[in-house]
């Protein structure tokens, strides 16, 4: 059975805490962090230079390189931002896209007709967007009317163009702009080893089982699944994504008189600092995984100083509790015996505070429909734990069970 381990630092993932690992990674890998910041600055300058230079060229290769360079720049910025906060899966997806940008740039550099083919593929995305209807189920009034108007305009603007270019380049052009497979294109440019990274990075994109990168681990003989960021894919994404960006930079430089030496040096410095990032990410990942398999369900009993008892549905992996409607709960016999003994001793040992006891894998019969609250807010002391076999887990600041 799979279990979910505690989230790092807070025990639960929220939008406000989605980048909670960023300060930790910055402190552990300061050289890499500084190198990444330098790349971000230089990439912004380089992108403006390439856009200005290609915009004045007015040729198909120039217009294609302009768009490819801009997309690659944005995707690489996304990669660095995600890598800096340990979000390995989106970083991997960005690096995968960068490899396609690399092949596009190299192909267009070698064959100007391919630049025209690449540019002609523009209406396909707009045509697909025009046929999306799900938003209509969520919009009303003026917003719905505006959405339908935009969809009609997209269809009118793109359908005729799409039919014309599909007739020019062949039926398969609607599906992909290049006439050859990605693998053949990679082989042509001597990038088959990088193509293996592309295959690796495609697993989470396609939703395959092999896409569980950084999210599963055997812990004490139990399969543990983790929510939140997957750290370990991030270093590979940075290394291969940087290699792809460097190739795109090389193609863009051909439209400049002085080249992009400052950006190239910044990318070299980032590569030089990459081992620090690799080591620290794997070290941090090892610390975040639990040492023993956690429970993903349970019940929480809170004992007031007055003797009143309240039962809660409890999520040990997220430290969240929700008040149960009744005291009816299903627990193991060993747990019941341990709980009885614990409750007899707790009032005298903790006469002036609320004490909580978590029963792992216990199930409350009637969960409430109220809000989930953080369990530490319900008690005045660290939780006791009673596991399925009746073993009592004592808080670290309590010398022995009461």
Rounded to whole angstroms, the Cα distance separating 380 from 350 reads 10
Provide the pLDDT for residue 30: 97
Please write the tens of the pLDDT for every residue from 185-195.
999 999 999 99
Give long-range contacts, CB 8 A cutoff, 24+ apart: 38-41: 38/266, 38/269, 38/270, 39/80, 39/263, 39/266, 39/267, 39/269, 39/270, 40/77, 40/80, 41/266
Please write the tens of the pLDDT for every residue from 206-241.
999 888 988 888 877 778 887 788 999 999 999 999
Please write the tens of the pLDDT for every residue from 66-99.
999 999 999 999 999 999 999 999 999 999 999 9
Please write the tens of the pLDDT for every residue from 303-346.
988 888 899 999 876 788 999 988 888 888 889 888 888 888 87
Provide the pLDDT for residue 393: 84
Please write the tens of the pLDDT for every residue from 149-190.
999 999 999 999 999 999 999 989 999 999 999 999 999 999
Give the pTM.
Answer: 0.77
Please write the tens of the pLDDT for every residue from 250-264.
999 999 999 999 999
The angle subtended at Cα 240 by Cα 239 and Cα 245, nearest 5°, is 100
Identify the band that residue 135 occupies on the pLDDT scale cut at 50, 70 and 90: very high
Is 122 a residue whose pLDDT tops 80?
Answer: yes
């Amino acid at each position: 059975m799979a279990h979910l381990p505690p989230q790092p630092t807070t025990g639960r993932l929220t939008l406000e805490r989605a980048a909670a690992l960023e300060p930790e990674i910055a402190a552990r890998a300061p050289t890499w962090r500084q190198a990444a910041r330098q790349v971000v600055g230089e990439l912004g300058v380089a992108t403006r230079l390439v856009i200005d230079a290609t915009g004045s060229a007015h040729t198909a290769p120039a217009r294609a390189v302009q768009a490819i360079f801009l997309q690659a720049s944005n995707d690489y910025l996304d990669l660095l931002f995600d890598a800096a906060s340990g979000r390995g899966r989106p970083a991997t997806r960005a690096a995968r896209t960068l490899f396609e940008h690399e092949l596009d740039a190299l192909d267009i550099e070698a064959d100007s007709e391919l630049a025209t083919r690449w540019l002609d593929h523009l209406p396909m995305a707009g045509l697909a967007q025009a046929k999306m209807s799900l938003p209509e189920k969520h919009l009303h009034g003026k917003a719905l009317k505006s959405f339908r108007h935009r969809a009609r305009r997209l269809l009118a603007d793109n359908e005729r163009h799409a039919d014309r270019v599909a007739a020019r380049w062949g039926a398969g052009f609607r599906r992909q702009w290049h006439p050859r497979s990605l693998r053949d294109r990679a082989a042509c440019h001597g990038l088959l080893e990088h193509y293996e990274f592309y295959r690796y990075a495609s697993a989470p994109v396609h939703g395959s089982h092999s896409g569980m990168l950084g999210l599963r681990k055997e812990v004490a003989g139990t399969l543990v699944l983790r929510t939140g960021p997957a750290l370990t894919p991030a270093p590979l994404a940075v290394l291969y994504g940087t290699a792809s960006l460097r190739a795109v930079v090389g193609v863009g430089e051909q439209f400049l008189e002085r080249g992009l030496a400052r950006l190239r040096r910044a990318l070299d410095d980032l590569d030089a600092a990459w081992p620090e990032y690799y080591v620290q990410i794997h070290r941090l990942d090892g610390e975040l995984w639990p040492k023993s398999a956690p429970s993903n369900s349970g019940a929480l009993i809170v004992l007031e100083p007055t003797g009143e008892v309240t039962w809660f549905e409890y999520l040990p992996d997220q430290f969240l509790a929700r008040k149960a409607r009744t005291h009816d709960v299903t627990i193991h016999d060993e747990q019941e015996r341990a709980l009885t003994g614990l409750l007899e001793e707790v009032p005298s040992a903790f006469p002036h505070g609320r004490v909580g006891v978590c029963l792992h894998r216990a199930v409350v019969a009637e969960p409430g429909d109220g809000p989930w609250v953080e369990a530490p807010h319900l008690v005045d002391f660290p939780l006791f734990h009673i596991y399925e076999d009746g073993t009592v887990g004592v808080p670290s600041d309590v010398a022995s069970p009461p």
